[in-house]
Amino acid sequence: MKTKIKIWIYPFIAMGLVLIITNSCRKSDSIYDPIVSKVYTTLDRTVIPATVSSWPVLYPYEISKFSSFPGYGVWHYGPGLGYQKRLDIMSPSYNSTPVTKAANLLNFFAITDIHITDEETPASAIFFGYKGGLIGGYSPVCLLTTQVLDAAVRTINTLHKGKPFDFGISIGDVCNNTQYNELRWYIDILDGKYINPDSGIKDDPIPGPDNDYQDPFQAVGLDKSIPWYQTLGNHDHFWTGLLSPNDYARYTYTHEEILNLDNILVNDQFAPQPFDSRGFYIGSIDGSTRYGTIIGVGPTDIFSTPPKVRAADPDRHSLFREEWMSEFFNTTSNPVGHGFSQSNVTTGFACYTFEPKTGIPVKVIVLDDTQSNDDPNNNFYGHSSLDMNRYNWLIGELDKGQKEGKLMIISAHIPIGVLPSGDAAGWNPTAPVSEDTLIANLHKYPNFILWMSGHRHLNTITPMPSPDATHPECGFWEVETTSLRDLPQQFRMFEIVRNSDNNISIFTTDVDPIIRDGSLPALSRSYAVAAQQIFNVTKQYGPSCSYNAELVKQLTPDMQAKIHLLGKQISK
């Protein structure tokens, strides 16, 4: 009888343990963000950094001093921003006054430049930002990138309940430093796994759970009904997005001794063969400290022995392009591979296409426009570039989409046509295909409507009008989305609609992740505000750095007829 009682009661004991564990996870959730029931986009309200007339001079790493001086890291909510109607690529004679929205064709979100960061790596670039200079080298926001992504996912899920997304797309730079553990944190957050954002040995800067940047947490995971797709960025396969790792760099990633380079920025250009030069320890962060104390940074002659991080970690290893793509097959969200095929992994060719919604003639072309690791312009790898293989593939996909009567969108990490050739974030001047040639050919496809990109951490919209004024349908829009890492820490929603005149509008909406006061994502926003103040970063569109727009695009008569019939079917 006793044996039967024991057998009978075990399931209830197990159930109790499950409830305890589940409640523990829920408690862990709440310290990061609530499960939000209402999302306010920038149509409703905006995040406005405080305006302060003067500040004492602080360095970015002096985090503990931010709260001592009024204004550092402080923000408030401001008024919402309506849609600015943009007719830049339409004929001057076009009259939009009587035009109304007739049918919704596609609804999706784009997120980019998340820069998931292992702050304790011995192979970072802190030297170039800890006392100012390059905000991409170091900013205090690097401590909380995983928590901010989780907050964004929670926000997306709530938006999806109100108006379902057909898909989501990430436009590159999911990693900060092409590290395996950074990529796994990114995918695992979207998959809804338990996340330990620590590396090396276990750190707990503030004793207790759920109260500092090193504490594990349960990610909510992207709603399983939303398929998401991935684009390759320069940070995903280059050292801090700038250099192709050599044997010395790859060894340093997984060991203790901090990276030793020369001051590779000389007159804003990289010195020849930078990984072969020495003279400065590039720095790391002591993850056992509350504010992420910077260690091992400065000229080599001030150190009696080479500085080291607290512990080595093999999961910090640098990823080749093929290895990076292969990780997207280790996922529990949809689709497996997130756009990449096994052929992409085998060849290292990070381009593909997909059609996001059955019955809607829209084709998305995911284009790798980052430099090749063996690019002969080897002093800097932050440029956009296409070799002949990728260029010919792109033209072939555009030809096919035009012939099949499909509207076409390109997702490519680096924007085009916005910077002079040779600029640090612009087109590679030694690329086999020139930027002018690429843009001229894009104008040959009237069904090409939108180039989406990230890279510059800006919310910017650039019209690309047709070079032939008699054919405005050959113009297209370029939309850059800002970083989730740096202020304003946003993602963007896109809605494509058929208008009553059978042209289309692309509505773009900036979204701030919903955060709770006192949460770790809220702390990150404060750090992002302080970093922008300290680095004196000026961005477009005023203090909120946000801009919502309706982008009108002319269609050919054939596409107008096709969209008209489709719109009538949708209306039914």
Q: What is the pLDDT of residues 160-218, one digit of tens each?
A: 999 999 999 999 999 999 999 999 999 999 999 999 999 999 999 999 999 999 999 99
Burial environment of residue 403 by CB neighbours within 10 A (0 to 12, 13 to 18, 19 or more): exposed
Helix (H) / strand (E) element for 150: namely helix 145-162
**pLDDT higher for 388 or 53?**
388
Read off the pLDDT of each residue in 533-560 and give the average, rounded to a whole number. 92
Which 3 state secondary structure label does DSSP give 158?
helix
**pLDDT higher for 338 or 538?**
338
d(CA 336, CA 355): 15
Minimum mean pLDDT range among 3-7, 414-418, 455-459, 495-499: 3-7
How many whole angstroms from its chain centre is CA 311?
A: 29
Predicted pLDDT of residue 11: 37
Predicted pLDDT of residue 10: 35
| pLDDT one-digit tens code per residue, 59-90 | 999 999 998 888 889 999 999 999 999 999 99
C-alpha distances (whole Å) from 553 to each of 291, 476, 480, 503 are 48, 7, 17, 6
Name the CA dihedral angle for 343, 345, 349, 352, rounded to a multiple of 10 degrees. Answer: 60
Mean pLDDT of the chain: 90
H helix intervals, 483-551: 520-535
Read off the pLDDT of each residue in 253-281 and give the average, rounded to a whole number. 78
Of 505, 501, 507, 403, nearest to 447 (Cα)?
A: 403
**Domains of the chain (ranges plus CATH)?**
45-571 (3.60.21.10)
pLDDT interval class at 8 (50, 70, 90)? very low
pLDDT interval class at 96 (50, 70, 90)? confident
Strands 504-511 and 167-170: unpaired
d(CA 469, CA 475): 10
Predicted pLDDT of residue 552: 98
Helix (H) / strand (E) element for 389: namely helix 388-403
**pLDDT higher for 39 or 313?**
313
Minimum mean pLDDT range among 255-264, 279-288, 407-416: 255-264
Q: Which residues contact 4 (CB under 8 A, 6 or more apart)?
A: none
Check pLDDT > 80 for residue 274: no
pLDDT interval class at 377 (50, 70, 90)? low
Phi-psi region of 456 (alpha: psi -120 to 50; beta: other; left: phi over 0): alpha
Read off the pLDDT of each residue in 456-464 and give the average, rounded to a whole number. 96
Predicted pLDDT of residue 239: 94
Compute how many other C-beta atoms are within 10 angstroms of the C-beta atom of residue 241.
Answer: 26
Predicted pLDDT of residue 567: 61
Check pLDDT > 90 for residue 379: no
Which 3 state secondary structure label does DSSP give 343?
helix
Helix (H) / strand (E) element for 285: namely strand 280-286
Check pLDDT > 90 for residue 237: yes
Q: Which residues contact 24 (CB under 8 A, 6 or more apart)?
A: none
Check pLDDT > 50 for residue 4: no
Predicted pLDDT of residue 3: 39
Check pLDDT > 50 for residue 362: yes
Predicted pLDDT of residue 36: 58
Minimum mean pLDDT range among 59-73, 216-230, 354-368, 493-507: 59-73
pLDDT interval class at 378 (50, 70, 90)? low
| CA atoms within 13 A of residue 400's CA, in its CB half-sphere | 13
In percent, the amount of the chain with pLDDT more than 70 equals 90
